[in-house]
Amino acid sequence: MNIVVCVKQTPSSTSVPVDAATGKLKLEGLPWGLNPWDEYAVEEALRIKEKLAGSTVTVVSVGPARAEESIRATLALGCDAGVLVSDPSFEGTDSFGTSYLLSLAVRKINTEKPVGLVLCGKQSNDYASGVIGQALAAWLEWPSAAFVRKFVSIDDKAAKVERAMEDGIDTLELDLPAAVSVIKEINEPRLPSLRGKMASKKAAVAKWGAAELGAEAAKVSAGGRLEQVGTSTPPARGGGVLVPGGTAQEKAAFLVQKLKELKFI
Ligand SMILES: Cc1cc2nc3c(=O)[nH]c(=O)nc-3n(C[C@H](O)[C@H](O)[C@H](O)COP(=O)(O)OP(=O)(O)OC[C@H]3O[C@@H](n4cnc5c(N)ncnc54)[C@H](O)[C@@H]3O)c2cc1C
């Protein structure tokens, strides 16, 4: 099976500052790495490849030139090929444009060797919309499943997956090709081998721009459909209260008093 994994290069930081004046993320100077959620999508693709003989894994990323580093990180893990979708005209595009570009890349790969499965992470750790996987499936008109925590079975024609929902687990059967986004519970990502790291440095990463993809400018133009009104950091949490008292009874008495003051009891 030909598997495509969509990966995004994102800041390797748990705290991305917001520019108060513009309401935009301040990304300059931050370290970059593979979106943590995408590590699970890559791992699952590699596991399926190991199960289904003759499979290949192609990694696609939409982003600037530096995103090539993250593609190489996946080649070091055992992915077979990488494609960087990049063009000055793609800068500033929104999720509509990004998913459109990914769908063009999948279609292009599909003409060379039919694609059976596209895997995405649940969300990115910067913009975190959690929509690309489903939007991509819509562009491709393929079945899709989100929040997948397990591939129960997969062959060339169909996949059975478990999807984690708030009230339980759904089991879904999907005809392939399909687009699936996965959650962290699905596996434990592997680490790269030294040999993999060395090989990934020399591997060729294809670069596709607007011309190679035949992208319509109107679909990727910045600010076309979605206006980013603002981004702000959540208000700082107030300090907690340390429950005083040497014994459990004293601590309980303090808590009861507090709950009474707050009129909870
Ligand atoms: C008005 C506007 C302007 C923007 N301008 C910029 C900009 O100038 N520069 C910029 O970097 N971002 C910009 N963004 C953000 C960018 O459009 C989003 O990061 C992108 O659409 C993906 O959305 P997300 O990060 O929320 O991914 P999610 O939907 O949360 O990601 C889910 C999964 O989709 C896949 N995925 C997501 N993004 C990519 C990608 N790029 N390549 C491959 N796979 C991917 C991954 O598997 C990921 O786990 C802008 C957004 C808006 C709304």
Q: Span 216-242, mean pLDDT?
A: 80
Nearest CA to ligand 1 atom 26: 129
For residue range 11-63, what is the model confidence (pLDDT) as tens digits? 987 777 888 887 777 888 889 999 999 999 999 999 999 999 999 999 999 99
Distance in Å, CA 62 to ligand 1 centroid: 8
Give the pLDDT score at 150: 98
Give the pLDDT score at 235: 80
Domains of the chain listed by start with CATH number:
2-220 (3.40.50.620), 240-265 (no CATH)
Distance in Å, CA 131 to ligand 1 centroid: 9
Give the pLDDT score at 233: 77
Counting every residue written for the chain, the total comes to: 265
Q: Span 242-247, mean pLDDT?
A: 90
- Is a pLDDT exceeding 80 seen at residue 228? no
Nearest CA to ligand 1 atom 43: 61
Give the pLDDT score at 224: 64
Looking only at the bridges linking them, the beta strands covering 115-121 and 81-85 are: unpaired
For residue range 77-135, what is the model confidence (pLDDT) as tens digits? 999 999 999 999 999 899 999 999 999 999 999 999 999 999 999 999 888 899 999 99
**Residue 235 exposure: Cα atoms within 13 Å on the Cβ side:** 3
Question: Which atom of ligand 1 is found nearest the CA of 60?
Answer: 43
Q: Which residues line ligand 1 (CB under 6 A)?
A: 6-8, 35, 37-38, 41, 60-63, 91-95, 98, 102, 120-121, 123-124, 126-133, 223, 226, 228
Distance in Å, CA 87 to ligand 1 centroid: 15
Q: Which residues contact 68 (CB under 8 A, 6 or more apart)?
A: 61, 82, 84, 205
The C-alpha atoms of residue 191 and residue 76 are separated, in whole angstroms, by 9
What is the crossing angle of helices 36-51 and 68-77, to 10°?
40
- Is a pLDDT exceeding 80 seen at residue 212? yes
Across 151-160, 161-170, 175-184, 236-245, least confident range: 236-245
Q: Whole-number mean pLDDT of the chain? A: 93
Distance in Å, CA 76 to ligand 1 centroid: 24
Nearest CA to ligand 1 atom 53: 94
Distance in Å, CA 228 to ligand 1 centroid: 13
Nearest CA to ligand 1 atom 14: 94
User: Can you list the pairs that 216-224 forms with residues at least 24 positions away whose Cβ atoms lie under 8 Å?
Assistant: 217/89, 219/96, 219/97, 219/100, 220/89, 220/90, 220/93, 220/97, 220/100, 220/101, 221/93, 221/97, 222/91, 222/92, 222/93, 222/94, 223/92, 223/94, 224/94, 224/96, 224/97
Give the pLDDT score at 111: 96
Distance in Å, CA 94 to ligand 1 centroid: 7
Q: Please choose from 5, 129, 144, 182 the residue to mutate so as to test ligand 1's pocket, defined by most ligand atoms within 8 A of CB.
A: 129
Q: Span 164-189, mean pLDDT?
A: 97
